[in-house]
Structure 1
Amino acid sequence: MSSHCATVRWSRQPDAAFTDGRYSRVHEWAFDGGAVVAASPSPHIVPPPMSDPSAIDPEEAFVASVSSCHMLFFLDFARRAGHVIDTYADDAEGMMEKDGEGRMAMTRVTLRPRIAWSGEAPDAAAIARLHHKAHDACFIANSVKTLVSVEP
């Protein structure tokens, strides 16, 4: 078992009334390794200037987390199978919509990995097996009820 921590910090701007709802939601995430990331609600949910489109929003972080976890397991399983990967890039996309109970939720995450192999690439069936194995092992995918699909 392991513990993973993040500190989320927000403070009200001195001139913001707060009770009128027009306060900045921009905040930061600090991680145990020292990384600090600017965070904000999505501008699709909270319009600027109360949000910051250049900051990472929780929905983007969720999609990136699913994608990153899948990639890390895929790389490891490919290595164990004797394959060499030069690059892996994924244009992952999450869909926010109402779930079966009518609540807004991240209902789907689609991973679109593009992989450059060194030497001979495995065949499509072997790649599909690696993706399936990575999906089954991914801690994040195992932790959520969101449908996660892979479209290599």
Structure 2
Amino acid sequence: MAHREHKYHVTVTWTGNQGTGTSGYKAYSRDHEIGSAGKATILGSSDPAFLGDRSRWNPEDLLVGSTSACHKLWYLHLCAEAGIAVLDYVDEAEGTMVEGAKGRFTQIVLRPRVTVRAGDDVDLARRLHHDAHEQCFIANSLNFPVLCEPSIRTE
């Protein structure tokens, strides 16, 4: 199989200079904007634990969200190929980060609740989560476990 390379261009612009820049730890806002050509801007900050704005997305939220979204996209693809009609998909994903000499994530747990068409193979629908995890570009790039605890029901 030929290897293809994809590049992603994102601009992060700090918008938190409150007049004196980073003259002190509490002298500036952590606010920023994440943009990419032709897409809506994402308003970002840091986690409130690090003086961020809780109404904005922080990098940790985005990492957990990216992992969940990638898994979902692969899962939907694999279900479509297998003839399973997914009618609803909601994931209550949770990431765990610890602080120490270096802060790091220790795991992400995906908890997708999936509804499939009546009569579809529920066991296969459950197993396809494993295959989606194996294919997920984001999960394959992480150095910590991504666990999946799916629940499948029929309409």
Fold match, TM over 0.5? yes
Cα distance in structure 2, aligned partners of 1:15 and 1:104:
29
CA RMSD of the aligned region, Å?
1.7
Cα distance in structure 2, aligned partners of 1:14 and 1:55:
17
- Aligned residue number for residue 112 of structure 1: 111
- Aligned residue number for residue 85 of structure 1: 86
- Aligned residue number for residue 16 of structure 1: 20
Call closer, same or farther: CA 1:108–1:14 in 2, change over 3 Å.
closer
Q: Which runs of 5+ in 1 are unaligned?
A: none
- Aligned residue number for residue 151 of structure 1: 149
Q: Secondary structure at the match of 1:80?
A: helix
Deviation at 1:35, TM superposition (A): 1.6
1:34 corresponds to which of 32, 35, 39: 39
Q: How does 1:128-147 map to 2 (within 5 A)?
A: 128-147=126-145
Q: Does the 8 Å CA contact 1:12/1:18 hold for their aligned counterparts?
A: no
TM-score by length of 2: 0.86
Q: Secondary structure at the match of 1:146?
A: coil
Cα distance in structure 1, aligned partners of 2:7 and 2:21:
37
How many pairs does the alignment contain? 145
Q: 1:78-103 CA deviation, whole Å, 9 max, x = no partner? A: 0100010111000000000158xx53
Q: How does 1:55-66 map to 2 (within 5 A)?
A: 55-66=56-67
- Aligned residue number for residue 73 of structure 1: 74
Q: Secondary structure at the match of 2:48?
A: coil
Cα distance in structure 2, aligned partners of 1:70 and 1:88:
11
Q: Does the 8 Å CA contact 2:68/2:91 hold for their aligned counterparts?
A: yes
Q: Secondary structure at the match of 1:38?
A: strand
Q: Secondary structure at the match of 1:24?
A: coil
- The answer to whether the aligner puts 1:3 opposite 2:7 as a matched pair is yes
Deviation at 1:127, TM superposition (A): 2.7
Deviation at 1:31, TM superposition (A): 1.9
Q: Which runs of 5+ in 2 are unaligned?
A: 151-155
Deviation at 1:20, TM superposition (A): 1.5
Deviation at 1:11, TM superposition (A): 3.6
Deviation at 1:6, TM superposition (A): 0.9
